[in-house]
Amino acid sequence: MSTDPSKTKSLRLILAARTEGLPKQLGSTQFLPMPHHQAIETLESAGLWLGPRPVLEETEEFRQIIPYIVLQYGSEIIRYTRTPAGCEARLHGRTSVGLGGHVDLPDVETSGEAIDLVRTLENAANRELLEELGVVEIVSKEWVGLLVENDSSVGRVHIGMIGLWRLQSFPVGIAEDAIGEVSSSSLSDLKADVERLETWSAMLLPWLSDVVVRH
């Protein structure tokens, strides 16, 4: 992959993982549950790279890492509607159970000469959550697996690092115009409305059914 430094030096840098370094099973569309440490090690082993977003949007050599946080409140899941204020027109009007976005250069923490992926992802997720919902009270946080969607050109250049965060109280504010009405829903209600869910959220529903019941 070649780039012209004069065209990329002032562009937004985001974190990605090298596609060929990911496990073979992530070559197909799926959510792959795995323990916190295994999910981190999988991305680290693949090879991490900070690159200009416009370049990464055009190459499948790397997958942009997206912390995608599902918020559980009691036995229900927080959901919201994406408004036309968001950058991704294909998501406008869709319902989502995931909050998050790209990992930016200011989110990055290092340990020696390497990226500290645990702290970096937490920085990005905390920033995105604050930008989208404002201050929320979190009881627990865990990374629970990786999600890939290969059925679209956009999906093939991203990988979701899925987090399940449990809330102390219901979010009281919306801090970002791209976030519409926020509510909590039972899994049965989400399943009944699955056609409105964005792709990643719909892919997570079967797994959420088991997790929410267990907790």
Q: Is residue 4 part of a domain?
A: no
Instruction: Print the domain residue range for 114.
Output: 10-214
- Per-residue pLDDT of the chain (215 residues), as tens digits, is 545 554 545 689 999 999 999 999 899 999 999 999 999 999 999 999 999 999 999 999 999 999 999 999 999 999 988 764 445 545 546 889 999 899 999 999 999 999 999 999 999 999 999 888 888 889 999 999 999 999 999 999 999 999 999 999 887 765 556 677 788 899 999 999 898 899 999 999 999 988 875 55
Q: Is residue 105 part of a domain?
A: yes
Q: Is residue 20 part of a domain?
A: yes
- SS3 string, the chain, reads CCCCHHHHCCCCEEEEEEHHHCCHHHHCCEEEECCHHHHHHHHHHHCEEEEEHHHHCCCCCEEEEEEEEEEEECCEEEEEEECCCCCCHHHCCCEECEEECCCEHHHCCEECCEECHHHHHHHHHHHHHHHHHCCCCEEEEEEEEEEECCCCCCHHHEEEEEEEEEECCCCCCCCCCCEEEEEEECHHHHHHCHHHECHHHHHHHHHHHHHHHHC
Q: Is residue 124 part of a domain?
A: yes
pLDDT tens digits, 43-66? 999 999 999 999 999 999 999 999
CATH number, domain of 168, equals 3.90.79.10
Per-residue pLDDT at 173:
63
Q: How many domains does the chain have?
A: 1
